């Protein structure tokens, strides 16, 4: 059988050569089923598209939160709200403390001003009283240096408030002769008013 294979192989090669020549003549590549380089060099087929996720995964993704998760979320929200409330109270307390400190500083400054004003007024009052007392003392020395009859003539016509201030400051050994020289009614009135004046508490 080998002598027959050689003629058959030659016949197949001639047939293939004729097909190639015919293909070259018509300008197209031969499409021989025996040798298929296009099939060998063709790209691999694309993988099939991914299908939908399994029903278990979809169920897990869309499942509602558990009671434990809800409770934890509620606790966290309550803690946040409580913290915000505490911070708000602390801020309000700090604001009130600042306002109270400012008011205290203003009040302290005002009290210091009032204390200084009071001291100044008291000093002025003492100075005024000293000047007034000095004036009365000078007047008393003037009347004490006069003769009793002359002083009595002036005392009979002097205003009672002024007369009481003068007689109250006179020495007794100087006031007695003057009162004795005055009109009796006037002397009695001076004595009564002088007793009332000395009975009143000092201002």
pLDDT-based confidence at residue 144 (cuts at 50, 70, 90): very high
* Whole-model pTM over 0.85: no
**Where in the chain are the domains?**
67-124, 145-203
Residue with the bigger pLDDT between 152 and 60: it is 152
Buried b (16+ CB within 10 A) or exposed e, 168-198: ebbeeebbeebbebbeeebbeebeebbeeee
- Could you tell me what percent of the chain has a pLDDT over 70? 72
User: Using one digit for the tens of pLDDT, what is the confidence trace for 53-95?
Assistant: 555 555 555 678 888 888 888 889 999 999 999 999 999 999 9
User: Using one digit for the tens of pLDDT, what is the confidence trace for 91-105?
Assistant: 999 999 999 999 999
Tokens of 19: 């097909």
pLDDT, mean over the chain: 81
Q: How far apart are CA 110 and CA 92, in angstroms?
A: 27
pLDDT average, residue stretch 110-132: 93
Q: What is the secondary structure of 85-135 as a DSSP string? A: HHHHHHHHHHHHHHHHHHHHHHHHHHHHHHHHHHHHHHHHHHHHHHHHHHH
Give the per-residue pLDDT at 203. 54
Give the per-residue pLDDT at 82. 92
Give the per-residue pLDDT at 55. 54
């Amino acid at each position: 059988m080998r002598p027959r294979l050689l003629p058959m192989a030659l016949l197949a090669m001639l047939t293939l050569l004729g097909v190639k020549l015919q293909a070259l003549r018509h300008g197209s590549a031969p499409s021989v089923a025996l040798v298929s380089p296009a099939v060998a060099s063709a790209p691999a087929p694309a993988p099939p598209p991914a299908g939908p996720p399994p029903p278990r995964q979809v169920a897990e993704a869309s499942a509602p939160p558990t009671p434990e998760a809800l409770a934890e979320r509620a606790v966290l929200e309550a803690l946040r709200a409580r913290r915000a409330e505490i911070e708000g109270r602390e801020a309000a307390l700090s604001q009130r403390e600042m306002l109270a400190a400012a008011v205290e500083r203003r009040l302290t400054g005002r009290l210091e001003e009032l204390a200084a004003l009071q001291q100044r007024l008291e000093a002025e009052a003492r100075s005024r009283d000293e000047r007034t007392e000095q004036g009365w003392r000078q007047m008393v020395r003037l009347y004490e240096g006069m003769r009793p009859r002359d002083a009595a003539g002036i005392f009979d016509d002097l205003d009672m408030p002024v007369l009481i201030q003068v007689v109250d400051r006179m020495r007794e050994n100087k006031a007695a002769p003057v009162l004795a020289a005055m009109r009796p009614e006037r002397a009695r009135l001076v004595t009564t008013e002088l007793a009332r004046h000395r009975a009143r508490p000092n201002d």
